[in-house]
Amino acid sequence: IGPSSHLKEAGIENKVDLPVGKNLYDHVLFGLVYLASPESEIYEETLHADSVLSLNNLYQYYVYGNGPLAITSVEAIGLVDSEIDKNVSFPNLALLFLGGIAANYSKFGYSTESLKDVFGPEFADPTKRGFTILPTLLNPKSVGELYLNMTHPFDKPVIDPHYLEHPDDLKSLIKGAKIAQELVGASQVFAKGLKFEGANSPYEYGTDEFWEWLIRSTVITIHHPVGTCKMGSVDDTSTVVDPRLRVKGVEGLRVVDASIMPRIISGNTNAPVIMIAEKAADMIKADWNKSN
């Protein structure tokens, strides 16, 4: 089941010709890392890797349920409209606020070496204190795809997300960087004793070229891929499943996960996928009761 031309190239007999693997959307983000010096008012409130798992913090968490271990890595989220697309009237950017520098958050995909390359060695030191703002693109216009690498079922597919291919996506993230800088600059508490710079940038700090360089140097996925088995009308040639999540042209087969979303949502995908599964369970039961 899939695009007939692609399956033919892979030497696989095509049973049902459907655009499986097309329409790939994903959320991406990049990091603005701010270092706090000891004279900063927020210095003691920020985290660094070596201090989080201290005995005192472990005691606070297990005995009182508070302290650094009682919070998520993302402590606050701001939703803003980049105003790049005048036809959109809802937030298309999220600003994620982390209570430490990105060197402490390897799960976001930033390696020590990559941070050194972009920001310089000081910003890649996990013992340093500071915070990170991650402008996140909620409604990307760039559309990717995935396809087979070989015919063996255990070979990894080729995933081509086409990140930042649409110019509006880059413009929105640049606007997100400027909004983040405005927020930090407008706060006397934040601004005092903070340091931010792209140490190795070939472009003048604060220009659009500088922000584009920073974005392209640090942009990563937030692991919210959707859309590759698009749901919609049976007559729509871009869809894979119908509104009841049944694969078109195949009896007794449904797809129930984030891949059925026609477009990516403006937020995390976990709860919506649970909702999709709950709805699918109801539809399966309804169809079963109708046929019996």
Binned average pLDDT, 10 residues per bin, the chain of 292 residues: 93 95 96 79 68 80 86 86 85 89 59 71 72 92 92 84 97 94 73 60 88 90 96 97 97 97 95 98 93 77
Enter the pTM of the model: 0.88
HSE of 217, CA atoms in CB hemisphere, 13 A:
21
> Distance of alpha carbon 154 from its chain centroid, rounded?
26
- pLDDT the model gives residue 54: 77
- pLDDT the model gives residue 51: 67
224 flagged as catalytic: yes
- pLDDT the model gives residue 183: 87
- pLDDT the model gives residue 200: 75
List Cβ neighbours of 19 (8 Å cut-off, separation of 6 or more). 2, 3, 230, 237, 238, 239, 240
Structure confidence by residue, pLDDT tens digits, 125-156: 767 777 889 999 999 999 999 999 876 778 88
Per DSSP, the residues of 120-182 read: -GGGG-TTS-EEEEEEEESS----BEEE-SSSSTTSPPEEE--TT-SHHHHHHHHHHHHHHHH
- pLDDT the model gives residue 212: 94
- pLDDT the model gives residue 31: 84
- pLDDT the model gives residue 191: 54
- pLDDT the model gives residue 88: 81
CA distance 262 to 1: 19
SS3 95: strand
Instruction: Name the active-site residue from 6, 48, 223, 224.
Output: 224
Contact 80, 91 (CB under 8 A): yes
- pLDDT the model gives residue 195: 62
